[in-house]
């Protein structure tokens, strides 16, 4: 493989990585927006008088939403090579 072939392959990998990081950012945004609403509504419900059964269900919704929020936060660690290089 020539140096030019290696450079072209590296450029292709870099482009694919940038496309992937852009996709991750869009996914993060698309999950985070409705998730914020779900979490907020669950927390508002928990302020109300609820039966014990309903309270447990809403607490489950809140717990699962918080887990998803943590996963979305971890996706922020995915950065493009340009961000790593300060460019």
| Class of the domain covering 3-79 | mainly alpha
Cα-Cα-Cα-Cα torsion 42, 43, 49, 53, nearest 10 degrees, comes to 50
Q: What is the pLDDT along the chain (87 residues), one digit of tens a residue?
A: 899 999 999 999 999 999 999 999 999 999 999 999 999 999 999 999 999 999 999 999 999 999 999 999 998 887 655 555 554
C-alpha pair distances (Å), 38 with each of 8, 19, 32, 46, 65: 45, 29, 10, 12, 7
Report the distance separating Cα 27 and Cα 74, nearest Å.
12
**Are 81 and 18 within 8 A, CB to CB?**
yes
């Amino acid at each position: 493989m020539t140096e030019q072939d290696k450079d072209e392959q590296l450029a292709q990998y870099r482009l694919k990585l940038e496309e992937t990081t852009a996709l991750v950012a869009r996914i993060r945004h698309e999950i985070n927006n409705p998730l914020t609403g779900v979490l907020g509504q669950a927390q508002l419900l928990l302020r109300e008088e609820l039966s014990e059964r309903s309270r447990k269900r809403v607490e489950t919704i809140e717990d699962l939403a918080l887990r998803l929020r943590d996963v979305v936060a971890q996706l922020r660690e995915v950065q493009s090579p340009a961000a790593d290089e300060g460019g």
